[in-house]
Structure 1
Amino acid sequence: MQNSDSSYDLCLASASPRREALLEQIGLKCLKYPVDLNESVLPGEAAPSYVMRLAEQKALAGQERSGTNLPVLGSDTSVVHQGKILGKPKNKRHAVDMLMQLSGQTHQVMTGVAVCQGRRILSLISVTDVSFRVLTEDECLAYCDSGEPFDKAGGYGIQGLAAVFVRSVSGSYSNVVGLPLFETAELLNQFGIRVLEPS
């Protein structure tokens, strides 16, 4: 690996403990450089374009902030229902309304992943279909009382209590948690970062 700090594999332009844990799951150590961007959806912007744009912007902003030669990974995950992007809930009522929208429905979880190093940047998108069983408002209120929904796109975390809402997942499970590991490993491989490299 050609970088200034051989004890790390990459920089992560995110404060997300879930993304860090997913990278650690596949044996990668990262320096975290969270970035603060305007995440508003542009007029007429479709969900795939939105997550890809934010992923690339985060990677580039993380590179500028880190000042290292390490590859920098930026990522953005959105929950999309009937073409509408559901962000993080603003309050309890908003979270309940989001969950009731997803009740008995199939929605998409879209994650844009971008890696940059110097002037080179590569990006991709992963889409997973998630089907919820029918929910009651009381269940949604109880779930909100756990505090779990409020920092998560779509108002739920599949790796937590909301696992009981999920009837089926078609596609990458890790994508729903916050980072599609298969696609991310393929992308990092193009920057010389290999998972399970023979010693």
Structure 2
Amino acid sequence: MPRLILASNSPRRRQLLTDLGLPYEVRLREVDESYPPHLHRAEVAEYLAAHKADAYRADLAPDEVVLTADTIVCLDDDVLNKPADAAEAVAMLTRLQGRAHDVYTGVCLLGGDGRRTVFSDQTRVYFRALSAAEIKFYVRTYLPMDKAGAYGAQDWIGMVAVTKLEGSYFNVMGLPVHRVWEELEKLDLTTLARTK
């Protein structure tokens, strides 16, 4: 029976897998998150997810499947990754406020037997206009430097700024669980959830 490995330090991804009822083990490794400049939107998220999975390839047992993911925020054609500091977070949110943007999460499932599946999901997010004071309050209080686009939809800013979503809310949180479940079913990993 395959064993699922989550290669992510994200507490949100851990919670989502737990909420699915899936047993998993966490393994962490530092991986460079740069990407070729010619990649566009969803390609960036998929490339980074696959790149992260490749870092685990040599260590996987034949019955293990590693799950890696990467979430990016795109405003027009600009990729907004994690801000370097509070000033960059404020700048990102200032650009996002009052506009719609796209969130892409790329996912890679890599088996110790060499099988690999890479996919992504897209959600359109609409922000209302925010004041400078609201943006600074959020950044100062919630420290969103570990989040693509400098915000978490599950945080205060998601409650006060997000007016509409087109697509999966969980994708914005960092894992398109409906797609992940479909792919894990193909690998017989969801049977673990049903027989726990």
Contact 2:86 2:143 (8 Å CA) reproduced: no
Kindly state the Cα deviation for residue 65 of structure 1 after the two structures are TM-superposed: 4.1
Q: Report the 3-state secondary structure (helix = DSSP H, G, I; strand = E; otherwise coil) of the residue aligned with 1:71.
A: strand
What TM-score do the two structures reach when normalised by structure 1? 0.91
* More divergent stretch after superposition (24-33 vs 41-50): 41-50
2:66 corresponds to which residue?
Answer: 72
Contact 1:148 1:157 (8 Å CA) reproduced: no
Q: Provide the rounded CA distance (Å) in 2 between the counterparts of 1:183 and 1:77.
A: 14
Kindly state the Cα deviation for residue 197 of structure 1 after the two structures are TM-superposed: 3.6
1:19-168 → structure 2 map (5 Å cutoff):
19-65=13-59, 67=61, 69-117=63-111, 118-163=113-158, 164-168=160-164
Q: Provide the rounded CA distance (Å) in 1 between the counterparts of 2:104 and 2:55.
A: 21
Q: Provide the rounded CA distance (Å) in 2 between the counterparts of 1:31 and 1:156.
A: 27
1:5 corresponds to which residue?
Answer: none
Contact 2:35 2:47 (8 Å CA) reproduced: no
Q: Which amino acid in 2 is paired with 1:189?
A: E
Q: Which runs of 5+ in 1 are unaligned?
A: 3-8
More contact order relative to length (CA 8 Å, sep ≥ 6):
2
Q: Provide the rounded CA distance (Å) in 1 between the counterparts of 2:131 and 2:38.
A: 33
Q: Which runs of 5+ in 2 are unaligned?
A: none
Kindly state the Cα deviation for residue 88 of structure 1 after the two structures are TM-superposed: 0.6
Query: What is the aligned residue count?
Result: 193
Kindly state the Cα deviation for residue 36 of structure 1 after the two structures are TM-superposed: 1.7
Structure 1 residue 183 and structure 2 residue 179: aligned?
Answer: yes
2:9 corresponds to which residue?
Answer: 15
Q: Report the 3-state secondary structure (helix = DSSP H, G, I; strand = E; otherwise coil) of the residue aligned with 2:133.
A: helix
